[in-house]
Structures are given as structure tokens and as C-alpha cells.
Amino acid sequence: MTPRQLKAFTAVAQTLSFARACERLHMSQPALSLAIKSLEESLGGRLLTRTTREVRLTPEGAELLPQALQLLADWENARERLRQRFTLQRGRVTIAAMPSFAANILPGILREYRELHPNLEITVQDVVQEQVLELVDSGRVELGFGFEPEARGKFAFASLFVDRFMAIVAPDSPLTGAGTVSWTQLLSHDFITLQRPSSTRRLLEESLAAKGLELRIAHECHQLVTVAYLVAAGLGVSVVPSLCERQMTAIGIRCLRVQRPSIHKAVGLITRQDRELSTAALSIVSFIRERA
Amino acid sequence: MTPRQLKAFTAVAQTLSFARACERLHMSQPALSLAIKSLEESLGGRLLTRTTREVRLTPEGAELLPQALQLLADWENARERLRQRFTLQRGRVTIAAMPSFAANILPGILREYRELHPNLEITVQDVVQEQVLELVDSGRVELGFGFEPEARGKFAFASLFVDRFMAIVAPDSPLTGAGTVSWTQLLSHDFITLQRPSSTRRLLEESLAAKGLELRIAHECHQLVTVAYLVAAGLGVSVVPSLCERQMTAIGIRCLRVQRPSIHKAVGLITRQDRELSTAALSIVSFIRERA
DNA sequence: CACACTTACGATATTCGTAAGGATT
DNA sequence: AATCCTTACGAATATCGTAAGTGTG
């Protein structure tokens, strides 16, 4: 019992005529006749009674007809759904991105990408770096964006750019003059950071420890925005990924380059090493890489 | 997307190996490889990723697998159900028969037939002749058994035997002597009949009217059994189809041949002219005809 | 004889298995 | 070198369309 035979049967059963069914199927009468015959033989009995003037359904044929229509419809639906996935007319991509990336890079990308494939459903979770890794690892999201993870082997990482951390100070700070600032200058001020665990915080501490510098922390916040407003209010200084530069300057904060050591870290796409990406996810990834 | 391709895909997806799938499918590796390839081409993307050491499902392949299994199972189920119908391992035949036939002829037939095809579901409604015709006409039953209907064209009738009506009298009646009785003898006694409408009653009246004889009715009953017991009690005589002979003699009633005119009527299978019979119904019909 | 389905038959398209190729461990 | 999937190619199978056949109104 092949789809071809079933299509032939439904066409004859619905038109009650081999001749009319032929037209619908774009087939010759003999081919149709043989298709029905072979179907009947494979099932072990007659589905249609053919008198020379009339074609009728047998009771078995009448039982088969709705089932055949259902089977063919299911078949076609499954096929069509998958085709749409591959042609990006349908699909779903789940993304986790660290907040700075989600806020400063993703919106522009997604707006442009959406115009290309408006029917793709894209969900973004902005969560901290650690959760990005967790979501990617558990398979709950397909794509992650964040700093390069340390645990290689588990994750595949494709760098998009290297983020060089920058100092942020109040607009009226005496440090603003040069546009560049050294760590010794910076650390002489009250320091505002994110709370642990935070990848930015950790990176900062590790880099300073390596140079024998010590961090004197005046305030700890959960969110970068809070840090920013504390800095803007003149309560201290901080160091943030340059990803946030636009955000910071919008608030009125001054961003300065820090040197000796300059802290930098690759930012990019994080996926599971042993997991395939869907066509839709691949399409977004290649779009992002082209754009960069 | 053919069932062949889908079977190939599910086999590979489940074994995660072309080589093992080959064995399961009794196919060569190249044939399997091409089948998967052609499926992927028809869908427009990859379903499986093949590294030389490992076969994995793409997200799209993972989506297809359960659907493919469902489609194949539905397909096979539909096919198998219909096969069972044709091979009489499954099916349902609905029968309507007039009471005398249902009680005296059908039980033996059905008992024997049931041994041949124990899985066929056979339902019998014992209703009066008029309802037999109605049930067959409306398509609510497939087979009817009763007297030959007058409305030809609507019904097809296949005679099984001709029923010759017989007189029934009390065991101690003076009429019992000869084994034969004439209408004039019979009509001199009180007469017990079924109520109108009844095909037996109508047939009786029509036949007598044609010969200029008149019926003098003492009692009217709804059921033949009641007629029988009234006759047995000596309250009168009656005329019934010889189909009931066994039933009557079991009660103790004497059955006599009536002559001049002898009333007879064909009894047989009634079906709708323009309706096909199911394989199961045809099988019962041919069984009955062989047995007769 | 005209209409509608079936059978016959040669041509075409799929599908198959064997053999060779390529890549990875 | 061994394993596993893919490509190449000739053979077998299935399917198609044209032409002839059959049966009914």
C-alpha cells in the first residue's frame, strides 16, 4: 500500500469515475487502473466495483476512504512542516545571552534578522554568564552569547569580538581629563562592583591579583545599571565591559581606557560541543558572523 | 517522501548506525544511504549528521522521528485492519430476519458459520417482514431474510426455498385423521390469526379472496406463539408458514397440508439492489446457499 | 457505435546490489 | 589497517503511456 495507490484510490472514490480521476491525477487511465488493481491485490479484496457505466465503493472501500484521506493529509502535513523548518518559514530558536550582550548587541541583530525571516520564533533570555552556560549545557537553549567559557570540551565557542574592559567615572571626576587611566589612579578611589558570583567581578579580581593589585570595594550591586547610577552620583568608580559603553554614556558617565593591565575577554557564541544546531539556529549564527 | 524512505530513516535514527539499520531493513548500505539522501533532498535539509564514527540526529531529524513512527504505524494499522476485513478475521454483518426464519433456520446456520469465522461479529434482529424490508432499505442492516418482497427494483431477492403454508389444529381435533385438509373443512372451524399488518395474514386473506372464500376470525394475536397456544387449547384452527412446523409440533399441535388453493410463497435473501455487500456478508450468503 | 474500464506491451524511471572511494580511528 | 559511510555503475524492478480489447447502453 503506497501513497501513490492511496491517492489513486481517493481520487476514484471521490469522483466515482476512473476517467475524471485520471485528469485530477495527471495519469493515463491504464496506469490508474493498474494502481487500483495492485492496491486491491495487496489488501486482498475489492475496494471498487466497476460496471461499464458506473463505479461504486464496496463497503470496504467506503471504510477505507476517510482513513486514506486522513493518512494522506497527515503525511503531507508532516512533510510540509519539516520543509518549512528547513526553508526558515517556520521554526524556533532559543537564545540565552548575558545582559550586556542582550541589551547592546542583540536587539539590532534581531531586528534586521526578523525582516529576513519574519516567521521564525526567536526567544531571548537575558541571564548572567553562568546561567547562559547552564542553559546551553542543559539544552534548554540552543544558542548562548557571552564570554568565552573556561570549560572547553563541553562547549564550543566562536569568538565575535574581544571586549576590553573600561573604567567608568562620574562626569565631574578629576580622572576624566586624559581619556585614559591607570589602575593605581583608579584604585585610589572608592570602587563599586557587581556582587559575586559575576563573571565581570571574577575576571576583574583575577586580573588584578595576577598583577599584585588589590581591590578596595565600597559598594556591591546586583545589576550593572545600579553600579552605573552609583558611579554617576559620584559615589565611586568601576570597571565594566566596553559592551556597555553606549549604555553608560547615555546615563552621562564617562568611560576611560584602563591600562597595565588591560583586562580583555573574548565575547561570542557558545554552543554545546556535541549538539547539532537547527537550520534556523545555523541561519542566525551565519547572519551574525556575516554582519560582524 | 515515501514509506520506504521513512522506514529507512526510522531504522537509522533508532539504531544510530547505517550498518545496523541495513540488517534490520535487509538492504545494502548504498541503497540505504541513497534512500536517506533522497529523503533529505525532498525535505530540503539534513536529518542526520554522519561523521565517520558516529551518526546523530539533527534537531529536524529529532522532530521527524516520532512523527515518522506514528505515520508508519497508522499506515500499517489501516492496511492491516482492511486485510482482516477481507480475510474475514474481522468484520460485522447485520441481519434482519422475520421471526419464523430467525427462530427456525438462522440459529443452525449461524452456529456452523461461527465455527468457520469466530471473529466475525454477526447481529440478528428478528422483526416482522415489513420491518425487514425497511431495515434493508434504509441500509441499517446489510442482509434481510423473509418472504419475497413485491417492490422489485428496490430490492434484490434470492429465493432459498418456497414455503407452503399449512393448517394447524389441536391434537384432539377431528381433522387430524387424514394429514390433509381442505379449505372448506378448515373454514368451518373458528379461525385464529395474527393481527394486521402481518404478511402471513395478508397473504392468507389475498389467497382466499382470489378463490372467493371468506375468513371467519374468532381471535387475533400479535405473536405466532400465542396463536399456537390458542390452537393447542382447542379454541380454533389457523394457517401458518411451514417454517414453523417444528415449533408447532414441539407444542403438541398437529400440522396438516391444506389444498385448493395451496398458499405458498418464496422465502429468501433480501438485499438492496444498488448496494454492495461486504466480503463478510457475501461469505455468509454463499455459506447459506451452499448449505441449502 | 460510443463510452468506460481492462489488458498488452515497449519505453522510461526508480531502486537495488556489487565494487570502488574517502575519511577517521 | 579496520571501520563506516558515500559515490559509481550495471541489473532488476516498477511505473508509465500508447494501442488494442471487452463489455454495456
Nucleic acid strand C within 7 Å of B26 CB: yes
Instruction: Say whether both B137 and B272 belong to one domain.
Output: yes
Which residues neighbour B230 within 8 Å (Cβ) at sequence distance 6 or greater? Answer: B192, B219, B221, B236
Statement: residue B198 has pLDDT above 90? no
Instruction: Say whether both B258 and B206 belong to one domain.
Output: yes
Residue percentage of chain B with pLDDT more than 90: 77
Q: Note whether B278 contacts A58, CB cutoff 8 Å.
A: yes
Alpha-carbon gap, residue B221 to B229, rounded angstroms = 11
Asked whether A171 and A232 are in contact (CB, 8 A), the reply is: yes
Could you tell me the distance in Å between the CA of residue A286 and the C1' of nucleotide D1?
Answer: 39
Average pLDDT for B73-83: 96
Alpha-carbon gap, residue B235 to B217, rounded angstroms = 11
Handedness of CA B106, B157, B273, A44 (dihedral sign): positive
Which residues neighbour B71 within 8 Å (Cβ) at sequence distance 6 or greater? Answer: A71, A74, A75, A78, B6
Alpha-carbon gap, residue B91 to B280, rounded angstroms = 7
Nucleic acid strand D within 7 Å of A31 CB: yes
Instruction: Say whether both A258 and A180 belong to one domain.
Output: yes
| pTM assigned to the model | 0.84
Please report, for the domain that includes residue B283, its CATH number.
3.40.190.10
Nucleotides of C under 7 A from a protein CB: 3-9, 15-20, 22-25
Instruction: Say whether both B12 and B67 belong to one domain.
Output: yes
pLDDT-derived band at B184, boundaries 50, 70, 90: confident
Q: Is B211's Cβ below 8 Å from some Cβ in A?
A: no
Residue percentage of chain A with pLDDT more than 90: 74
Asked whether A43 and B79 are in contact (CB, 8 A), the reply is: yes
Instruction: Say whether both A122 and A216 belong to one domain.
Output: no
Instruction: Name the A residues in 29-48 with CB < 8 Å from any B CB.
Output: 42-45
Instruction: Say whether both A69 and A121 belong to one domain.
Output: no
Please report, for the domain that includes residue B21, its CATH number.
1.10.10.10
Q: Quote the strand ranges of A102-253, DSSP E.
A: 121-126, 143-147, 155-164, 166-169, 180-182, 191-194, 217-221, 238-240
Instruction: Say whether both B11 and B78 belong to one domain.
Output: yes
Return per-residue pLDDT of chain A as tens, 292 residues: 999 999 999 999 999 999 999 999 999 999 999 999 999 999 999 999 998 888 999 999 999 999 999 999 999 999 999 999 999 999 999 999 999 999 999 999 999 999 999 999 999 999 999 999 999 999 999 999 999 998 777 899 999 999 999 999 998 888 887 778 888 888 889 999 998 888 888 888 888 888 888 888 899 998 889 999 999 999 999 999 999 999 999 999 999 998 877 888 999 999 998 888 999 999 999 999 998 7
Instruction: Say whether both A49 and A141 belong to one domain.
Output: no
Instruction: Say whether both A133 and A172 belong to one domain.
Output: no
pLDDT digits (tens, 9 = 90+) for A200-221: 888 888 888 888 888 888 999 9
Instruction: Say whether both A155 and A272 belong to one domain.
Output: yes
Query: Which of B86, B121, B137 finishes a domain?
Result: B86
Q: Note whether A44 contacts B3, CB cutoff 8 Å.
A: no
Alpha-carbon gap, residue B209 to A137, rounded angstroms = 97
- Set of cell numbers at residue B99: 421471526
Instruction: Say whether both B81 and B108 belong to one domain.
Output: no
pLDDT digits (tens, 9 = 90+) for A91-100: 999 999 999 9
The DSSP output letter for B39 is: H
Nucleic acid strand D within 7 Å of B36 CB: yes
Q: Which residue has its C-alpha nearest to nucleotide D5's C1'?
A: B52
* Domain total in chain B: 3
Instruction: Name the B residues in 107-146 with CB < 8 Å from any A CB.
Output: 142
Identify the pLDDT of residue B173: 84
Residue A143 half-sphere exposure toward CB, CA atoms < 13 A? 26
Q: Note whether A276 contacts B59, CB cutoff 8 Å.
A: yes
Instruction: Say whether both B120 and B169 belong to one domain.
Output: no
Alpha-carbon gap, residue A102 to A123, rounded angstroms = 11
Q: Phi, psi at residue A154, to the nearest 5°?
A: -80, -45
Name beta bridge partners: B154: none
Nearest CA-CA partner of A192 in A226, A142, A241: A226
Instruction: For residue A264, give the 3-state DSSP assignment.
Output: strand
Query: Which of B86, B112, B136 finishes a domain?
Result: B86
Which residues neighbour B105 within 8 Å (Cβ) at sequence distance 6 or greater? Answer: B97, B145, B243
Range of the domain at B221: 163-265
Q: Phi, psi at residue A10, to the nearest 5°?
A: -65, -35
Query: Which of A86, A106, A133 finishes a domain?
Result: A86
pLDDT digits (tens, 9 = 90+) for B55-70: 999 999 999 999 999 9
